[in-house]
A and B are shown apart, each in its own frame.
Chain A
Amino acid sequence: MTMELSAGAAKRRGAGGWRWSGRIFLLLLLGFTVMPMIWMFITSLKTGFAAMQYPPQWWPAEPTLENYWRLIDPSGNVGRDFIQYFWNSIWVSTLTTILAVVVAVPAAYAFSRFRFPGRNFLFFAVLLRNMFPAVVFLVPLFILMKALGLVNTHGSLILTYLTFGLPLAIWLLKGFYDNIPVQLEQAARIDGATRFQAFFLIVMPLSTPGIIATSIYSFIGAWNEYIYAYTFLTRHDQMTLPVGIQRFFSENATDWPGLMAATFMMSIPVVVLFLVLQRYFVRALTEGAVKH
């Protein structure tokens, strides 16, 4: 009896040790993760003078929201541009998302349900796109955009964002369709629905979570995109946030608090979107990779 007890206690202590090292690891990791975000926020509350001190003020002696007011004040130079970048980002990301989902839904459905000749090759081609860096496409796309007169327009961005938005959207949505039982459509077909009706009236409503997840993905991808926007846009009034905020940065006299306030504002929409819809987001990502 006593033997058993002490053995159990020892086992529990062993497991407890693992659990505690897990906790400590998570705590350190949490510090590593949030420290930059916190420092971003703290710096954004400083004046330019306060930021340039060593050792730094860990918490600003005189915290100020001035950097934020400057960004959202439409009467100032900085504010006018920042608001313009913000709207450009929203506009480009939203339109990209809508187009990607509209085009990807039927394609993903077809890849999930139909077996047509060339299906495997085409699906392979779609997935393969995810492998290639933007740079491989950059020079020819730049030439194409010049030829089409799309340089310095949002059209160039939306068109290219579809290149990375579509394959991902198709793959994510296909994962969802694969998990919707075919029997549902078969039942609908027996009841006289056409193949399109079965898709549109039965499968579409069931795949709403998938469509939401795919939309968030496309939106965040477009919102954070940098390299195409950096290459195709030179006019200030067309720029999206990731390229626009470079104006706060210059080798000699960087306005660090201003830059940090701008990056903070830029991060808010995606982080909020993500936190609210986290459930869908995580499920979609892992749906295709993990076979239950």
Chain B
Amino acid sequence: MSTVPGQAIFRDVPEPRRIGLSQKVWNSRFDYLYVAPALIVMLIVIGYPIYYTIELSFFNTPASLALSAKQFNGLDNYVTILTSPVFWKVTWQTVLWTVLSTFFAFMIGLGAALALHREFAGRGVLRALLLIPWVVSAVAASYVWKWLYHSDFGAISAMLTQVGWIDKPINFIDNTNTSLYALIVVNVWKEFSFAMIMLMAGLQTVPDTLLRAAQVDGASPWQRFWHVTFPHLQGVSMVTLLLLAVQNFNSFIIPWIMTGGGPAGSSDIWITHIYQLAFGRQRWGVASAYAVILFIVMMVLGYFYVRALTKGDDARAAG
């Protein structure tokens, strides 16, 4: 590729060995035109809010959001959060929610991807059907599941009763012991198909010849999976797990619509808690400080995410 004739044409100016940064910037001035519109939009709707959230987190802002009356209060908002028992409860629930949802969505997705890998009649239809929860809006999903879980007329309780496993309807989401887990089931339902398509694409990169060679050498299906397929899936698994974890950490719709974080905060996670603090109780400063802490946590996760995504990006670069 490096010997393709005409490659030099792509460089507007013949490049001397050592060249100053400002010179480089000037040489690629037209490149920036391509990204400028995107950057301007992102600066307005991303850069500015980030800056403003950080600022608000150091102030006490009146409930009316009258910004002229806001008072600087240093780290008070942060202290309020970190010394509150609710913070640790919500953090623990967020960890449970994120880890369990990610784990089960990934494992079910992996199982489905492996089962769907081989060609059989109706495979395309089946794959499409399994993908539907992921396309359907979380709002629709939340309402349907709320109805399925209904404490008096819920279909799930009714089914379990008819099979004879329970005597009377179970209260799934109005119960402090079960609400979080009931919501995790909904979340897994919504998300496993994402893991499924990612891993199906990953499976296509596993060389058939290797699998056949292993089979000829007498490897059992499990050995073939563990020693041949699985190592090939590591890259895509990393990306999938990270994306799922981020998505789950940021969930809002399912807990908000189904329980609003209740009952008694038993299904509250960070995002719903922040929303409640800001738009429910108008504690703008504390909510902003929460958002900043969240921001920092995400930066750490984000580092790994971007590293996983851009791996090999530079190697593939073109003129």
Q: Do A and B bind each other?
A: yes
With a cutoff of 8 Å between Cβ atoms, the chain B residues found around residue A143 in the complex are 52, 65, 67
Provide the bound-state CA to CA distance between A135 and B147, in Å.
Answer: 27
Say yes or no: A30-B31 contact (C-beta < 8 A), given A136-B291, A290-B205. Answer: no
In the complex, B13 has a CB within 8 A of chain A: no
With a cutoff of 8 Å between Cβ atoms, the chain A residues found around residue B205 in the complex are 290-292
Contact with B along A120-142 (1 / 0, CB 8 A): 10111111111111111111110
In the complex, A3 has a CB within 8 A of chain B: no
Let me know if A278 and B138 touch, CB within 8 A.
no
Let me know if B197 and A282 touch, CB within 8 A.
yes
Smallest beta-carbon distance B237→chain A, Å:
10
Let me know if A56 and B153 touch, CB within 8 A.
yes
Provide the bound-state CA to CA distance between A199 and B155, in Å.
Answer: 56
Let me know if B7 and A131 touch, CB within 8 A.
no
Say yes or no: A183-B4 contact (C-beta < 8 A), given A36-B148, A110-B34, A133-B294. Answer: yes
Stretch in B73-81, B82-90, B111-119, B175-183 touching the partner: B111-119
With a cutoff of 8 Å between Cβ atoms, the chain A residues found around residue B25 in the complex are 116-118
Q: Which residue of A lies closest to B240 (CB)?
A: A289
Contact with B along A52-64 (1 / 0, CB 8 A): 1111100000000
Smallest beta-carbon distance A74→chain B, Å:
23
A-B contact pairs, 6 of them (CB 8 A): A106-B33, A113-B319, A115-B28, A127-B309, A129-B46, A136-B49
Q: Binding site of A, secondary structure by majority: helix, strand, loop or mixed?
A: helix
Let me know if A25 and B111 touch, CB within 8 A.
yes
With a cutoff of 8 Å between Cβ atoms, the chain B residues found around residue A183 in the complex are 4
Let me know if A54 and B152 touch, CB within 8 A.
yes
Contact with B along A16-46 (1 / 0, CB 8 A): 0011001101100110111011011001000
Q: Which of A242-262 contact B (CB under 8 A)?
A: 242, 245, 249, 256, 259-260
Stretch in A75-83, A204-212, A267-275 touching the partner: A267-275
Let me know if B28 and A116 touch, CB within 8 A.
yes
Q: Which residue of B lies closest to A229 (CB)?
A: B139
Let me know if B221 and A15 touch, CB within 8 A.
yes
With a cutoff of 8 Å between Cβ atoms, the chain B residues found around residue A176 in the complex are none
With a cutoff of 8 Å between Cβ atoms, the chain B residues found around residue A178 in the complex are 316
Say yes or no: A159-B144 contact (C-beta < 8 A), given A127-B309, A128-B302. Answer: no
Let me know if B139 and A107 touch, CB within 8 A.
no
Q: Which of B23-52 contact A (CB under 8 A)?
A: 24-25, 28, 30-35, 37-39, 41-42, 44-46, 48-52
With a cutoff of 8 Å between Cβ atoms, the chain B residues found around residue A18 in the complex are 221
In the complex, B106 has a CB within 8 A of chain A: no
Let me know if A26 and B126 touch, CB within 8 A.
yes
Let me know if A122 and B48 touch, CB within 8 A.
no
In the complex, A103 has a CB within 8 A of chain B: yes
In the complex, B145 has a CB within 8 A of chain A: yes
Contact with A along B302-319 (1 / 0, CB 8 A): 100110011110101111
Let me know if A286 and B201 touch, CB within 8 A.
yes
Provide the bound-state CA to CA distance between A183 and B128, in Å.
Answer: 36
Say yes or no: A139-B158 contact (C-beta < 8 A), given A30-B130, A33-B132. Answer: no
Provide the bound-state CA to CA distance between A143 and B66, in Å.
Answer: 10
Say yes or no: A223-B309 contact (C-beta < 8 A), given A122-B39, A136-B49. Answer: no
With a cutoff of 8 Å between Cβ atoms, the chain B residues found around residue A109 in the complex are 34
Interface size class of B (residues with CB under 8 A): 35 or more
Provide the bound-state CA to CA distance between A29 and B189, in Å.
Answer: 9
> Of B144, B155, B200, B316, which one neighbours A56 at CB under 8 angstroms?
B155
Q: Which residue of B lies closest to A56 (CB)?
A: B158
Let me know if B235 and A26 touch, CB within 8 A.
no
Say yes or no: A289-B198 contact (C-beta < 8 A), given A40-B144, A159-B45, A263-B140. Answer: yes
In the complex, A224 has a CB within 8 A of chain B: yes
In the complex, B244 has a CB within 8 A of chain A: no
Let me know if B46 and A163 touch, CB within 8 A.
yes
Let me know if A116 and B31 touch, CB within 8 A.
yes
> Of B53, B126, B246, which one neighbours A136 at CB under 8 angstroms?
B53
In the complex, B301 has a CB within 8 A of chain A: yes
Let me know if B28 and A114 touch, CB within 8 A.
yes
With a cutoff of 8 Å between Cβ atoms, the chain B residues found around residue A125 in the complex are 42
Q: Which of B258-311 contact A (CB under 8 A)?
A: 271, 274-275, 278-279, 284, 287-288, 291, 294-295, 298-299, 301-302, 305-306, 309-311
In the complex, A227 has a CB within 8 A of chain B: yes
Let me know if A289 and B34 touch, CB within 8 A.
no
> Of B52, B252, B301, which one neighbours A131 at CB under 8 angstroms?
B301
Q: Which of B182-236 contact A (CB under 8 A)?
A: 189, 192-193, 197-198, 200-202, 204-205, 220-221, 235-236
Provide the bound-state CA to CA distance between A112 and B200, in Å.
Answer: 25
Let me know if B49 and A140 touch, CB within 8 A.
yes
Let me know if B318 and A112 touch, CB within 8 A.
yes
With a cutoff of 8 Å between Cβ atoms, the chain B residues found around residue A224 in the complex are 137-139
> Of B21, B41, B49, B246, which one neighbours A166 at CB under 8 angstroms?
B41
